[in-house]
């Protein structure tokens, strides 16, 4: 029942069998026997399921096992493989890109022409030259800025020297050369190089070189399914017009820069310039027309392709191949042996469930009776504790006894770390009394007690006189089941292991109690 101060798991298993009657023990042992028979079948089924899963991959093993047989699987697989090839080719072609149009610029020379036509009439002849010569005579940093800032103060007389300014030629030249209109005109003329760079950038054939090379590569990629035709070399076709337009614009800019405040008459040059630029526009437009035709061919070709789902076809092929494997001799034999093992296990499991239900029913009844009888004995022994709950536990898979003591209305389990439990609550005398009560209840429940020899080895150790007296009395009462209770009978109830006079006193006391009732 216990060792030292603890109740071990093996003792709780043994105590359960000790407490149960023959029928309950037999039912429990039947459950144990069936458990042992089921264990190798479980291992066999696990191994065969793993083997079946290897055959079934990537399909789940149970789905593979449930496949139905099919005819002409090789023929169907060949047809699906042909469809799969077509579907994959179609998917590749459907994802292939067409060619891309090039941006076409607009011929817009309005700002360029406006600057060429710009003119600015000066009041004072040679005003700019006059101011320039004056500044060159007086080389001072910031002189031009100083003069420009002081012009608003130059009215009536000089604010610096007080002399009259009326009719001063240099002052009139200052006002003309530093006027807002004059400065704006010069700035517009100075912007001509940037303007022509912006115009020419849109017409430069080298700007489209990368995209034209991509278009050529895409045309090659469509071979041999499609032959897409584009211009041989667009850059060669429009390069001459671009070069002529560039040269003409630069020449016009030089003419304007030479006389920035005079109108440049360039109608013929501008007409020729437009012709060059429009020829570039024409070349790009013709190229884009070829692009439109090529893309139309691509779309028409794609419309003829099938849009079959390659993934679905591949899955159908895989299912057919697994079906063929499912009904191969090797797998059929494996599944049959697995089914046989599962059938055998299910039959044993059903037997085990029935035996377990019977065992649990008998154990519950027996343990309930045990609990009541033990508590009666514990009360007779004068203990302050009783068994609160005696039951069967399946922790660990093997049935074992489990009970909770009640000490002064407080539950005391067999084990509980850091809290009151069996090992920390009961004294040695209490533990022995509890064990002796278990033994006496088992003894009185034995139907063959009259034909048994019972040896009590020092059951009263560590007990006080009252409990010793009760031990002798309960042992004597248990002797009523035997035919005779004395030292001369063939199968007496003996007390061994008591030392000296205590042994003689105990035996004599038993004889007197039995004789006098």
How many whole angstroms separate alpha carbon 416 and alpha carbon 453?
A: 38
Residues 264, 327, single domain; the answer is: no
Q: pLDDT of 121-131, one tens digit each?
A: 654 445 666 66
pLDDT score recorded for residue 340? 94
Residues 189, 132, single domain; the answer is: yes
Task: Let me know if residue 489 belongs to a domain.
Answer: yes
Q: Could you tell me what percentage of the chain is helix, strand and coil, using 3-state DSSP and rounding each to the nearest 5?
A: 65, 5, 30
Residue for token digits 């006080």?
A: 464
Q: Which two tokens stand for residue 363?
A: 């154990």
Provide the mean pLDDT of the chain.
Answer: 78
Q: Which two tokens stand for residue 321?
A: 């191949």
pLDDT score recorded for residue 173? 64
Residues 293, 164, single domain; the answer is: yes
The model scores a pTM over 0.75: no
Which region holds residue 397: left if phi is over 0, alpha if psi is between -120 and 50, else beta? left
pLDDT score recorded for residue 507? 63
Q: pLDDT of 321-379, one tens digit each?
A: 999 999 999 999 999 999 999 999 999 999 888 887 877 776 676 667 777 888 888 88
Residues 125, 210, single domain; the answer is: yes
How many structural domains comprise the chain? 3
pLDDT score recorded for residue 42? 93
Residues 70, 175, single domain; the answer is: no
Task: Let me know if residue 298 belongs to a domain.
Answer: yes
Residues 144, 249, single domain; the answer is: yes
Task: Let me know if residue 143 belongs to a domain.
Answer: yes
Residues 61, 187, single domain; the answer is: no
Low-confidence stretches of the chain (pLDDT beneath 50): 123-125, 485-500
Residues 159, 240, single domain; the answer is: yes
pLDDT score recorded for residue 305? 73
Residues 253, 174, single domain; the answer is: yes
pLDDT score recorded for residue 307? 63
Residues in the chain: 517
Between CA 196 and CA 204, with CA 199 as vertex, the angle to 5 degrees is: 110
Residues 233, 151, single domain; the answer is: yes
Residues 255, 297, single domain; the answer is: yes
Domain that holds residue 505: 446-517
pLDDT score recorded for residue 477? 74
pLDDT score recorded for residue 489? 28
75 CB-side CA count, 13 A: 3
pLDDT score recorded for residue 490? 29
């Amino acid at each position: 029942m216990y060792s030292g101060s603890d109740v071990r798991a093996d003792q709780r298993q043994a105590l359960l069998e000790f407490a149960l009657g023959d029928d309950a023990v037999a039912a429990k042992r039947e459950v144990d026997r069936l458990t042992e028979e089921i264990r190798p079948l479980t291992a066999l089924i696990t191994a065969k399921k793993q083997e079946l899963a290897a055959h079934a991959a990537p399909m789940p093993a149970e789905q593979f096992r449930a496949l139905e047989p099919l005819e002409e699987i090789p023929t169907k697989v060949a047809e699906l493989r042909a469809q799969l090839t077509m579907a994959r080719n179609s998917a590749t072609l459907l994802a292939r890109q067409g060619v891309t149009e090039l941006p076409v610029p607009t011929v817009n020379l309005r700002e360029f022409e406006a600057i060429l036509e710009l003119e600015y009439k000066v009041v004072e002849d040679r005003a700019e030259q006059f101011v320039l010569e004056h500044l060159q005579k007086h080389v001072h940093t910031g002189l031009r800025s100083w003069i420009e800032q002081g012009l608003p103060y130059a009215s009536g007389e000089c604010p610096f020297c007080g002399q009259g300014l009326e009719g001063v030629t240099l002052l009139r030249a200052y006002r003309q050369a530093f006027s807002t209109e004059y400065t704006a005109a010069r700035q517009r003329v100075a912007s001509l190089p940037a303007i022509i760079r912006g115009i020419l950038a849109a017409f430069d054939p080298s700007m489209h070189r990368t995209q034209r090379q991509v278009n050529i590569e895409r045309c090659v990629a469509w071979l041999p399914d499609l032959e897409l035709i584009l211009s041989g070399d667009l850059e060669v076709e429009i390069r001459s017009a671009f070069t002529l337009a560039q040269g003409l614009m630069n020449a016009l800019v030089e003419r304007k820069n030479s006389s920035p405040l005079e109108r440049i008459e360039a109608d013929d040059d501008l007409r020729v310039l437009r012709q060059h630029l429009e020829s570039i526009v024409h070349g790009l437009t013709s190229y884009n027309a070829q692009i439109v035709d090529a893309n139309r061919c691509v779309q028409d070709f794609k419309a003829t392709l099938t849009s079959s789902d390659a993934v679905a076809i591949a899955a159908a092929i895989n299912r057919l191949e697994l079906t063929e494997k499912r009904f191969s001799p090797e797998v059929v034999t494996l599944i049959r042996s697995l089914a046989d093992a599962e059938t055998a296990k299910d039959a044993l499991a059903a037997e085990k469930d029935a035996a377990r239900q019977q065992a649990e029913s008998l154990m519950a009844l027996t343990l309930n009776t045990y609990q009541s009888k033990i508590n009666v004995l514990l009360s007779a022994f004068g203990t302050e504790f009783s068994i609160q709950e005696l039951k069967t536990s399946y922790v660990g898979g093997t049935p074992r006894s489990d009970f909770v003591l009640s000490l002064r209305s407080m539950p005391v389990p067999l084990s509980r770390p850091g809290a009151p439990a069996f090992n920390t609550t009961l004294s040695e005398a209490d533990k022995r009394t509890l064990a002796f009560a278990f033994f006496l209840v088992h003894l009185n429940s034995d139907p063959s007690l009259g034909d048994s020899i019972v040896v009590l080895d020092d059951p009263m150790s560590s007990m006080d006189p009252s409990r010793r007296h009760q031990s002798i009395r309960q042992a004597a009462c248990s002797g009523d089941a035997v035919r005779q209770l004395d030292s001369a009978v063939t199968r007496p109830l003996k007390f061994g292991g008591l030392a000296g006079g205590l042994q003689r006193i105990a035996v004599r006391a038993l004889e007197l109690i039995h004789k006098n009732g």
